[in-house]
Amino acid sequence: MSLNRLFDVIQQIKEAADVRAAFGEPQVLEDKTIIPVARVSYGMGLGFGSGEAEGEFATVDDSGGGGGGASSAPLGALVVTPDEVRFVPSLDVTKVVLASLATGAWVIYQLARTMQAIFGRN
């Protein structure tokens, strides 16, 4: 992998991890400007090596490889008006569902313990 190719890959990852990947462009509506806010992260790793294999089919091997990824998660939006600037958080449906499932499991557990205390163990 050439160094120029590596820099091209890094640039592609940076472009993919942009705020527009989560929200889109800032919008102006009447007297309001809505500016998207997101958590963006990216990372990558690479390695190179060379060596000589042992055995019947011994060869000299130079190789390398790399990988990376990016993520973008919406946090909310800044709403800018002539009078104020305020942050409006976005709703993370996954967190709401997980909290609901945990609460439901806790309620069922407590109900089972209560029923066991009332009616005893058979």
Residues 76 and 96 both lie in one domain: no
Instruction: Render the burial of 85-100: b for 16+ CB within 10 Å, e for the rest.
Output: eeeeeeeeeeeeeeee
pTM: 0.50
Residues 21 and 77 both lie in one domain: yes
Residues 17 and 115: their CA atoms lie apart, in Å, by 51
Residues 42 and 21 both lie in one domain: yes
Domain count, the chain: 2
Task: Choose between 92 and 87: higher pLDDT.
Answer: 87
Q: What is the pLDDT of residues 107-121, one digit of tens each?
A: 999 999 999 989 886
